[in-house]
Structure 1
């Protein structure tokens, strides 16, 4: 198997919240497609969408968009997340888990891992976003840039969990953070979900 097509799998032992299924990550949508034998057009659209996901979701709302904070604080990332970020195993990081909701329905579960070394200076604000979308902070600053998108295939325990996800590293000099976005069935089933 070529190096670029090697999946990486999150630990399944207690660090992933119940709402987030274990996920196998691929370096590209093409690599994930080979494993799943083709993803549906709506999933493909969301997985490769450029720019701010928050903004794209807001444009599809008829009644409103909001962020619900499920959990945030200093916790240990999974082994796989620590390796991706290049931080020591067992080191705590600021972990923020939210639901991105459109028209009062959760559409996306987002999990952000922020190493302690990133939370300095102006970026200390990342601990105090509350219901402000993370994308509003990252995409309004020219200091932060996004790395390549990875595609995740989720190992669902039930039909209410997300089937697909994406994630990327954001960089600002030596600082970095990892953002994972898990697409829920209610979003993927919307008839206007992949309109441009």
Structure 2
């Protein structure tokens, strides 16, 4: 992985904030693709420490600059930890914007992969995921950088 990509993949803070800064003056938007209760995939259940037959809150979005998707994101959180979080009302607002304002937020290790299968089915050079925790609330955030981002920022392919 090139140093330019490592700076993106290893970011422990808000990816939303980094995208907005890197994409300026382009307009940032979140395109909500799907949000609903669902069953986690096996790898997601393992990462969150829940059974595969438990219901989770699943949200899939495209993070876009000037209507061009730069990142596909899939977030999964156990329903039993969502009390009082009101995440269903996020709509086309960034989950990261909400998460990184929470005091005491802890991010687990970041797993980086060049294989899109664990993250989403989108073309691009790298994906990453990690579990973020705030009290009883835990969410697995999976992000895959797309070729549009590579082109628009003139990043190396790998």
Q: For this structure pair, what is the TM-score category when the shorter chain's length is used for normalisation?
A: 0.7 to 0.9
Could you report, residue by residue, the CA deviation over 1:92-149 in whole angstroms, capped at 9, with x for unpaired residues? 211000000012210000000011112102x1x1121101100111111114221121
Could you report, residue by residue, the CA deviation over 1:44-96 in whole angstroms, capped at 9, with x for unpaired residues? 22111231100111112223100000111011110110011011122121100
> How many pairs does the alignment contain?
151
Gaps of 5+ in 1: 1-38
Aligned counterpart, 1:88 = 51
When residues 155 and 180 of structure 1 are mapped into structure 2, their CA distance, relative to the original with a 3 A threshold, is closer
2:69 and 2:83 map into 1 onto residues whose CA distance is 31
1:155 and 1:57 map into 2 onto residues whose CA distance is 20
Aligned counterpart, 1:48 = 10
Output the TM-score relative to the length of structure 2: 0.87
Gaps of 5+ in 2: none
SS in 1 for 2:127: strand
CA RMSD, 1 decimal: 1.9
1:163 CA drift (Å)? 2.7
User: Pick from 159, 163, 167: which aligns with 2:129?
Assistant: 167
Q: Any conservation in 2 of the 1:72–1:95 contact (CA below 8 Å)?
A: yes
SS in 2 for 1:66: strand
1:155 CA drift (Å)? 4.9
